[in-house]
Chains A and B, each alone.
Chain A
Amino acid sequence: MSDILQSLIDIVGERSVSNAPEELWFYSRDPGVLAPHKPDYVVAPKTTEEVQKIVQLANREKVPVVPMGNGMSLAGLVIPLKGGIVLDMKRMNKILEVNAMARYVVVEGGTSQGALKSYLQKNHPTLRHSIPDAPATTTIAANVSLHGQGRLTNQYGFNSDMVTGLEVVLPTGEICLIGSPSIGPYWISKGPTLPDLSGLFLGWLGCTGIITKVGLKLYPNKKIRDAELFVTDRVDLIPHILYKLTHLEMLEDINVWFQPKPLMFLGNYHITIFFTGDTEEEIEFKRKMVWDCLQEYMDSKDGGFMSMQYMKPMLLEMPGRNIADFADVPKGGGFEYSGPIAPIEHFPQYAAKVVELAAKYNVLYASTARLISGGHSMMYSISFAFNRNDKAMMERVEQALTEATAFALDMGGIPWKPNFKEQQMTLAKMEPNARKLLLMIKKNLDPQGIMNPGNWEVNS
């Protein structure tokens, strides 16, 4: 038995370490199109101290460490590109504190979205968090590590904007509190009014440390949720429609989507408009505001509201499952998306690009955009489905996604959860001094280069 394996067993116990081939097979891949790469060990720590010891060991031995939540980013972000230890965080799943009055929660670094949702439903029914449409088993710490977005992103920004403090194990093994918890007992601010150190970890895809605790803002959970579905066949109108809707300043979430199948969706752009209320009156008031604000498009016959009684339960699901259903349209259950952050005025160009790429690479597309911060920007997902048993199709999807990222960068967009190749494309486009700053930060925090190597790798 190798020294490293034994040391890992000493830290977490035998049941929580493995280098068995079937485990390594499983941990070498994610559901996206990138090629797998095997780790040497898989470890599932239970406490911050165990994480600390593992990182200290990895530092000593110069072994890569890849923190992993549920491995569902689809962009290969937990594929151990250089082998080493995959640190499966899922056993660190405790909900540590809810401060109902200050509306925040503190969770461990492997707590899943689903666990928090059901905990709040049961214990704090008037509170909620911003749930992404990712499977319920995905984790909160990972989501903020990649600047995820959720149901409340239109109102309150990226999910990472909702962080209220962090506990992090640095790549050199120190345990570090970030934000208000570094000063006192309250997890009320990730940075302000201090220098905001949370930026050293949020969006870094696990390359600068391991998040072992996250404080997260909670928001009012209104009693009723409802939705309307507006459709238009004029893509040029979409930015204006979104502008009008966001002007209302009262909507929970806004998603724009289009797809060629099933046929009922062909040729139209769909805008799902979510809103909430504590009473029927509040809901009806909001519904009327939404309809009134788009009446001019009905009058011109360019757009209208779909009657969607039978679709409503599906649309109101949290997380939404329809995205995953799309993965199985070509059979074989795969899908991956590139999700650049872009200004909403570029919606028509992005929409045209999706269709162009799907035709060029002969793959099936679906596209969903989620508004961020009241229309300040949008996450524009360019999704392609594929059959996992069809290598050639997967290669075509990979090429299409790379081209989508190149397009987004040309348009001035920022790639979201880029894979390692897209990170390099982004770095190449980045202003040199900004790139230098990234390098300085990475080198200082992770002198041995052990944290999720291959990602956010700045060479010079």
Chain B
Amino acid sequence: MYQLKFDQKVCASCRSADCLLKCQYMTFSGHKEAHGEMMKIMKGKDSRVLSECMTCYACEEYCTRGNHPFYLISEKREEKGMFTAPRPITNQWINMTVMQGKCLVGNVKDKALSCCYIPDLGPLGSGEIFKDVADAGVFGAEFMCPAVHTHFARMSVIKERLPIVIDNYRKLGVKEVICLHDECYGTLTSIASAYGMEVPFQPVYYLDYVLQRMKELKDKIKPLNITVAYQRSCSNRLIPDKHALVKKIFTLIGVKAPKRTYQDENALCCAEILRSISGYKLADDVQKRNIDDMLAAGAEYCVFNCPACQTSLAEKVSKRGLKPLHIIDLCKMAIGEKEREAAS
């Protein structure tokens, strides 16, 4: 069984304890307390973090010393038989994502376009931007990143399934897998490496691919001249180095994303998982603060990276006058492939 690579010495000597001090859902009196809690977790002792962590993934970004605090928290929770969300919800996710041999595989050669197990990704991976890879789509539980189970502190499911997923890709004989789901890329890079899993192909982050294509399609771009708020996804915390791509794409297509209170490191998640874990009060509060902030920044559009965030927030932002749109659709709008007002 794979073991989490977690350098205890690095933590022991950490002077920041930013992982917990920056946490948006818990407060600590200072370094001493936060660091102390991290030490307890590491040693397998009880810590309030184990019952209070909302699984927002952000501490994976806050720790800049190469450790994996969130994976550790999840490991320890599972070891102690703890559940984050209610047990039936946890098990439902496990059952829902079982591989049953019902996957779809397109005309895959060197490259595969991964649609994870999210139907919405298929239509996104189309058109001029994806013209070279659109028919190489793969979809299904067999190709799904199992990272979602970290929310439920079921790392055992990830350790069991991720090697199979990686192997499923390997069997396709691909050199590159373009991940349309942010979390897939995070899983094949951050999680796989944290557990020492070898990935025998090159995972490609879709925004890298999109940026490159948009540069190639530069002549077709008509600057959009719109103001947007970007909804960062939880999984983006696993790959913070990729966050800058969003700004680059916005600049290229003439999109303004004014400064917000909740952006970059301080971004608020879509909060749907908070609803599952703790109920509506916290989730409603986070979503309200987030949308208020988008409006205060003067945004007309709410731009998503992850279709799951889009599902949970689309109706809510629409009701408050913002147009919900995936970043790929935004790019399609810029090259005239998608109607401006057809945002949905």
Contacts and interface: CB of A to CB of B under 8 A. Distances in A.
19 contacts: A231-B92, A232-B88, A233-B91, A262-B96, A263-B98, A264-B96, A267-B88, A267-B91, A267-B95, A287-B280, A288-B280, A295-B279, A298-B279, A301-B85, A303-B88, A304-B88, A305-B276, A307-B312, A309-B315
Given A291-B280, A295-B279, A307-B312, A263 B95 contact: yes
A291 B96 CA distance: 24
B157 interface: no
B201 interface: no
Interface residues of B, number: 22
Given A231-B92, A266-B95, A297 B86 contact: yes
B95 A309 contact: no
A352 B226 CA distance: 58
Nearest to B314: A309
B100 interface: yes
Which of B83, B88, B92 is packed against the most chain A CB atoms within 10 Å? B88
Contacts of B272: 307
Nearest to B120: A310
A402 interface: no
Contacts of A301: 83, 85-87
Interface of chain B: mostly helix, strand, loop or mixed: helix
A264 B87 CA distance: 13
Given A263-B98, A288-B280, A305 B275 contact: yes
Interface string B313-331: 0010001000000000000
B92 A268 contact: yes
A61 interface: no
Contacts of A295: 279
B217 interface: no
Contacts of A280: 319
A278 to B, nearest CB: 16
A422 to B, nearest CB: 34
Contacts of B319: 280
A306 interface: yes
Interface residues of A, number: 26
A303 B311 CA distance: 23
Given A263-B95, A264-B96, A307 B276 contact: yes
Contacts of B10: none
Contact of B89 (A266, A306, A309): A306
Contacts of A302: 86-88
A266 to B, nearest CB: 5
Nearest to B96: A264
A428 to B, nearest CB: 41
Contacts of B279: 291, 295, 298
Nearest to B86: A304
Interface string A267-285: 1100000000000100000
A231 to B, nearest CB: 5
Contacts of A262: 96
A267 B319 CA distance: 36
A297 B85 CA distance: 11
Interface in B224-273: 272
Contacts of A291: 279-280
Interface of A: 231-233, 262-268, 280, 287-288, 291, 295, 297-298, 301-307, 309-310
B85 A304 contact: yes
Given A305-B275, A307-B312, A264 B86 contact: no
B276 A304 contact: yes
Contacts of A264: 92, 95-96
Given A231-B88, A233-B91, 20 more contacts: A231-B89, A232-B86, A233-B87, A262-B96, A263-B96, A264-B95, A267-B91, A268-B92, A280-B319, A295-B279, A298-B278, A298-B279, A301-B86, A302-B86, A302-B87, A303-B88, A304-B85, A306-B92, A307-B272, A307-B275
Given A263-B96, A267-B91, A268-B92, A298 B312 contact: no
B88 A233 contact: yes
Contacts of B85: 301, 304
A91 B96 CA distance: 46
B317 to A, nearest CB: 14
Contacts of B88: 231-233, 267-268, 302-304
A309 B91 contact: no
Given A263-B100, A287-B280, A291-B279, A303 B86 contact: yes
B311 A309 contact: yes
A137 to B, nearest CB: 31
Contacts of B83: 301
Interface string B274-307: 0110111000000000000000000000000000
A305 to B, nearest CB: 7
A260 B35 CA distance: 46
B281 to A, nearest CB: 9
Contacts of A307: 272, 275-276, 312
B311 to A, nearest CB: 5
B62 to A, nearest CB: 26
B124 to A, nearest CB: 16
B276 A268 contact: no
Nearest to B272: A307
B308 to A, nearest CB: 9
B95 A304 contact: no
Contacts of A309: 311-312, 315
A160 B163 CA distance: 58
Nearest to B82: A301
A268 B91 contact: yes
Contacts of B95: 263-267
A251 B311 CA distance: 26
A265 B96 CA distance: 8
Contacts of B89: 231, 304-306
A304 B89 CA distance: 6
Residue picked from A265, A280, A295, A301, most chain B C-beta under 10 Å? A301
Contacts of B275: 305, 307
B54 to A, nearest CB: 14
A190 B96 CA distance: 49
